[in-house]
Amino acid sequence: MPLVVVVSDGSSSSRPRDITVILGDTNDNKPIFQEASYDFGFEENTPVGTSLFRVNAVDADSSTAGVVRYSIDEVTPSSGFSLFSIMDTTGVVTLAGSLNFTELSTFYRLKINASDGGGKCYFDEPKYFSSVAFSFITVVDIPDLDPSFLGVPYVGRVEENSPVGKSVFKVTAVDQDTGVNDKIIFSIEDSTVDGLFAISDNGVISVLSQIDREEFGDSDTVTLTVKARESKQNIHGVYASITTDVLINIIDVNDNKPEFYRCGFSCVKESHFTEDVSENSLGSIPINMTVRDLDKISKTKLTLGGADKDVFAVEPQFTTLDSIVQLVVRQPQKLDFEKTQQMVVEVIATDQDETSFQSTATVTINIKDVNDNSPTFAKVTYKLDVTEHSDVGTELARIVAEDPDTMDQGNITYSLLPESIRLYFDVDKYEGKVYVKNKTLLDREIRSLYSATLEARDTEGKPGTTVLEITLTDINDQPPVMNRDSYLEFVKEGKQLELKIEATDSDDPDTENSQIVYGIEESSYSDNFTIDPNTGVLRNSGELDREALDQALEGRIELNVIATDKGTPPLSASVTVIINVEDVNDNSPQFAAPSYEFFVKEGEKGAFVGSVTAEDLDQTTDFNRISFSIIDGSFGSFIMRTFAMERGYRGNITVDPDIELDYESEHKQFKLGVEAVDLERKTAEVMVVVNVVDVNDERPEFTAIKPVTVKENTTISGVVGRFLAHDKDTNHHLFYELESMKCRCNSSLTTCSYFILLPTGEVTQNHELKVDYEQCDQVLIEAQVIDEYTEKGENNSATTGQMVINIEDINDNVPEFIFSDSVNVVVSESTSKGTSVAGVTATDQDSGINRQIEFKVALVHFVDSNNQTQNMGLLFEAVTTQQKDVYVGIIQTTDGLDVKLKGKYLVTVNATDTGGLFTSTVLEIFTVDETYKVELEFIPSKTEVERKLNEITRALTAATKAAVRVTSLREDTDESSRASSGTIMVAYFVYSNGTALTADDVERMISDPAHYIVLKELGLKNIGTAPVIEASNPFEYVLLGLLGGLIVVLAILTTSLLCTRRNYRRKLKAAKAMNSASMVNSDNQKSGPVVPGTNKYTMEGANPVLNLNIDTTLVLDLDEESSDVDKVSLNSLDCSDDMNFPEKDTKPIMNMIQEEEEEEEEGSGPPEYIEPLGAVLAQRGPKKGSENPRHGYDNPAFSTTDL
């Protein structure tokens, strides 16, 4: 599109230019589908991946905005979303999943979206347009499914004997292909009972032949297999079908009477039953009878009939099932074989629901004889006699029993009880003859009377008994028997013995066979004793002396005493009598020596010292047994044990196992009083001297030593310190070994070797290593002392000795600056005296006062942008502070910095410790000169900007990513209106690497919409440009001087002219202004175009101050044919959103009015206001003394622009 633009300065000269405007396409059209909807039908077996249809949408835009892409936004129902897909570029819709008319939905609605590629129209962000079209897809059913029965499972019922053709049940089947719905044909394919039922075409099952439930056996149900077949072929060319089972329950009818059966492997009908029963039997009699009613539901009653029905009862009396029938004996006493051998009863079964249905069975019962009697003897007790020791088989008597049972005649057996009696006697099993079984055991002296039970049993084992009392008669066959196997008697020597010897004879006491006489068999000591022949009392004939006996006998005397009866022939027995002559303690112990002396080494626990021996002349251990003990002088250091010897006893003296004798103690010799005592406390004493022999067995011990101090970095040739130890043994030789040497370095102990330990215990410095306090401040030496002459025990000290060597610090380290990678930047304009511009940190490895550091600025140079260096004096100073172990030097200015200097300051800073050691570093402080100053104009007042300064700073930092350093805030005064119109912020934007942003850089960064919106809300209006200092040129200075002089002359002439005109025309202006003010209203004040940027209006008299008639058509180059659009465009400049000024300050105008009044006061009388408009606008009353009343005016036509 060609255009001609003309620019003119308002005079006759102008300059045209041709402009070609290229109109670019914008995204202002949305895609349009070519069809309103897309409706199709597809068979459910359509293969996955088939292209179903294609949608098409057209976008009138060009380029990217006209590119259409497709997508499926929604599928109804939502479960079908995964079944369809669309090619985003072509719009082809493809089947992505399998369709199913029956299991899934039969239709789908697709919401298809067509979106263009987007583009900018008159928007800041790209705009996208889209359209939507709907597609309805109908799924077409095909015959691919088998028919299906409804309401399964099928169960029907029909009574037996129902008439042929009766309807029983109806089955229903449908074609699952609901869209096809083919006709179904039914048939019976199979039946558990053939020929009973038929089925019609509509699925009704009916009776085909006579039904008798009892013919089915145990089953009451007939199962039919029914088939449902479609009348037409499916897609596979076959007739689809399905089968199901129909269960028909046959309902029973009571049409059978109860019957009796005999059951074995199978059951057969029977009316006669026979059974044997023993006489006197109780309980039930099984007769193998079963009663059965073939009807499913039956109630049968059983009763008895016949002549013998009272003897029995029938069980069960009532039944509803097949039951086993038994007879129960009610009167067992009538079952007597001797009276009757057979009984007959009738069992009657009656159907309770139909009593005419009845059956009868005859039961014949044969009674069997049983053995119901026991054998019996003629007497209750039989008394029998027999001589002792009779021969085996000697018959005592023949005794038999009787049994009335015929079956037991001649069949009774005999036995003797208890079993133990059969050791002596027995009986013939069949004849009942009692005889002797053991000759030897029949001894009257042992047992003279026997009692036995003779038992008889019949063929069934029924017993009958009688008692036998058997007495033995005596013969002389027993010798005397001593009452004891031996006699043992104790008598103390010197005492009298009296012992009665007793014997018995088992023969009859009324005969001589049992009379006994006593005597002593001759032996070595038989003469010392006598015995009474009738009473058997044994006594000693003289005094008994233990010491007179052979010592080998140990006081034991053995005698044989004989007891003889007076029978023929006489029999005798003997017994041993042992007499122990007990010892009496009449002797005291005696030591083998009058005294003893032994030697023992110290320090040996449980060491053997020596033995003492003693003897007691008493013969028994009760009196000659000796115990030794130490009664004096042991001090708990010895123990004594007694041991028996072949003759006498030995006492061993040993050191207590818990005690070690110590030669170094006060007990070097012990005098022990040893006592020998027997059991009756008869004693003897002896002195035993024990000498302790010295042994080197004491461990050496360390003596505590005080800490030692050694200065670092010094060399000591002598001894630093010495370990001290002592040994209690008289003979010892000590030497020292190093256990460990550890240094405390950085508050932890580590192994080191700063010092050497000599065998003598002296510690010297290791000159190969340098002792440095800054590395380690303390050394801990542990040593062990060893005694070379140790004979027993440990040869070293129980605990190690310790020596602490403290390393004393000296001032040997210079301070060290801590490196920092930060860049120091200073904004020269913002600095004043005391401004912190940089900082340094340093540490000193020394300790205490030696580590204190003081910072000082030694030299300051400035390197400009031309790499020229100049000395700046001490423009900076250092202030020292401390943070824990780190010293900080804050670099401050001593005066303001030159804002015009471009470059960096090189500040040399010294760090000095208290010992005068120092180190230096050079700081680079980059300057930011005034060329980087940026002025930001804000609409709010200075007070409001100061209040929001933190928010403004954060917003500027976010936009520029630089540190914002504000140097000043000042009010911005509009010269044309002489009123404050905002605030000017002067700031620098500095990065941490020392670089700064120019005004152009800042303007570009904050113009980003994301940041500009925030800053605009904070009141940002405009960005100013810092003055640019260019290279000086002498010729330019001359021209500037001439121009400046000309401006001054013009200013003076203009001022003079204005002052002269004001004095003569002031009153006229005021009068006309009042007249104009009264005629102007708010409706016609601003009806015409305005002069942009001025307070001039096109109306005559619109300006009450200047009262100038302005031809706006001339001044603005507007002719009468100018369009209203041009005027509106001009008016828009006055109310632009970007030109928001606060209310103008009226103070300058009021000052001007006041000055005019003061001028009038100088040449006239009492002052009074002659310009009401000035008084009204200044809102001031008349001066004091004025006679004119105060006037007020209210004219809404005047605005700030008018003033």
Q: Which residues pair with 1025 in a beta bridge?
A: 934
The secondary structure of 131-157 as a DSSP string is: EEEEEEEEEEP-S-S-EEEESPSEEEE
Lowest mean pLDDT among 375-379, 400-404, 849-853, 1078-1082: 1078-1082
Does residue 416 have a pLDDT over 90? Answer: yes
Higher per-residue confidence, 648 vs 1177? 648
CA angle 677, 680, 682 (to 5 degrees): 45
- Using pLDDT thresholds of 50, 70 and 90, give the confidence band for residue 294: confident
Q: What is the pLDDT of residues 1110-1143, one digit of tens each?
A: 443 333 343 434 444 333 333 333 333 333 434 3
Higher per-residue confidence, 536 vs 1151? 536
What's the pLDDT at 507?
77
What's the pLDDT at 783?
92
Pairing, β 498-500 against β 537-540: antiparallel
SS3 content of the chain, % helix, strand, coil (to 5): 15, 40, 45
Asked if residue 270 lies in contact with residue 246, where contact means CB atoms within 8 angstroms, the answer is no
What's the pLDDT at 1066?
58
- Using pLDDT thresholds of 50, 70 and 90, give the confidence band for residue 676: very high
Does residue 1172 have a pLDDT over 60? Answer: no
Lowest mean pLDDT among 254-268, 374-388, 710-724, 979-993: 979-993
Instruction: Please state whether the predicted TM-score (pTM) of the whole model is above 0.75.
Output: no
Structure tokens at 650: 């030995």
Asked if residue 626 lies in contact with residue 648, where contact means CB atoms within 8 angstroms, the answer is yes
Does residue 161 have a pLDDT over 90? Answer: no
Lowest mean pLDDT among 160-164, 197-201, 609-613, 1029-1033: 1029-1033
- Using pLDDT thresholds of 50, 70 and 90, give the confidence band for residue 1203: very low
pLDDT > 90 in the chain, percent: 20
Does residue 548 have a pLDDT over 70? Answer: yes
Cα end-to-end span (Å), the chain = 46
- CA–CA dist 129, 116 (Å, integer): 6
Does residue 360 have a pLDDT over 80? Answer: yes
What's the pLDDT at 1026?
43
What's the pLDDT at 246?
92
Does residue 178 have a pLDDT over 80? Answer: no
- CA–CA dist 178, 1111 (Å, integer): 93
Angle between helices 1009-1017 and 949-960 (to 10 degrees): 170
What's the pLDDT at 923?
84
Asked if residue 1021 lies in contact with residue 938, where contact means CB atoms within 8 angstroms, the answer is yes
Does residue 1103 have a pLDDT over 90? Answer: no
Does residue 632 have a pLDDT over 80? Answer: yes
- CA–CA dist 426, 447 (Å, integer): 17
**DSSP at 1015:** H
The secondary structure of 35-52 as a DSSP string is: SSEEEEEEETTPPTT-EE
Does residue 1180 have a pLDDT over 60? Answer: no
CA angle 840, 841, 845 (to 5 degrees): 145
Lowest mean pLDDT among 13-27, 139-153, 866-880, 903-917: 13-27
3-state secondary structure of 1076: helix
Structure tokens at 297: 């539901």
- CA–CA dist 230, 186 (Å, integer): 9
Q: What is the pLDDT of residues 957-1001, one digit of tens each?
A: 988 888 888 888 888 776 554 555 789 888 888 887 778 888 888
The total number of residues written for the chain in this structure: 1203
Helix H or strand E encompassing 1172: helix 1172-1178
Q: What is the pLDDT of residues 807-847, one digit of tens each?
A: 888 887 889 888 877 767 776 667 778 888 888 899 988 77
Which of 301-310, 696-705, 1171-1180 is most confident?
Answer: 301-310
Structure tokens at 1111: 């031809």
**1068 class by beta-carbon count within 10 Å (0-12 exposed, 13-18 middle, 19+ buried):** exposed
Q: Which amino acid is at 899?
A: V
Higher per-residue confidence, 373 vs 615? 615
What's the pLDDT at 1071?
52
Q: Which amino acid is at 23?
A: L
Mean pLDDT confidence for 546-570: 84
The secondary structure of 802-837 as a DSSP string is: EEEEEEEP-S----EEPP--PPEEEEGGG--TT-EE
The secondary structure of 501-549 as a DSSP string is: --EE--S-TTSGGG-EEEEE---TTGGGEEE-TTT-EEEESS---GGGS
pLDDT > 70 in the chain, percent: 85
Does residue 409 have a pLDDT over 50? Answer: yes
- CA–CA dist 1017, 955 (Å, integer): 11
Q: What is the pLDDT of residues 1040-1060, one digit of tens each?
A: 888 888 888 888 888 877 766
Mean pLDDT confidence for 940-961: 88
Higher per-residue confidence, 989 vs 1171? 989
**708 class by beta-carbon count within 10 Å (0-12 exposed, 13-18 middle, 19+ buried):** middle
Q: Which amino acid is at 316?
A: P
Task: Of 338, 357, 339, give the one whose Cα is nearest residue 349.
Answer: 357
Q: What is the pLDDT of residues 184-199, one digit of tens each?
A: 889 998 988 888 899 9
Does residue 1102 have a pLDDT over 50? Answer: no
The residues, ordered by sequence, that sit 6+ positions from 924 with a Cβ below 8 Å of its Cβ are 823, 824, 904, 905, 906
- Using pLDDT thresholds of 50, 70 and 90, give the confidence band for residue 1092: very low
Q: What is the pLDDT of residues 87-145, one digit of tens each?
A: 998 999 999 999 888 888 888 999 999 998 887 766 678 888 899 999 999 988 888 78
The secondary structure of 404-436 as a DSSP string is: --GGGTT--EEEEESGGGGGTEEE-TTT-EEEE
What's the pLDDT at 476?
77
Per the listing, tokens 């359209």 go with 131
Does residue 432 have a pLDDT over 60? Answer: yes
- CA–CA dist 19, 851 (Å, integer): 79
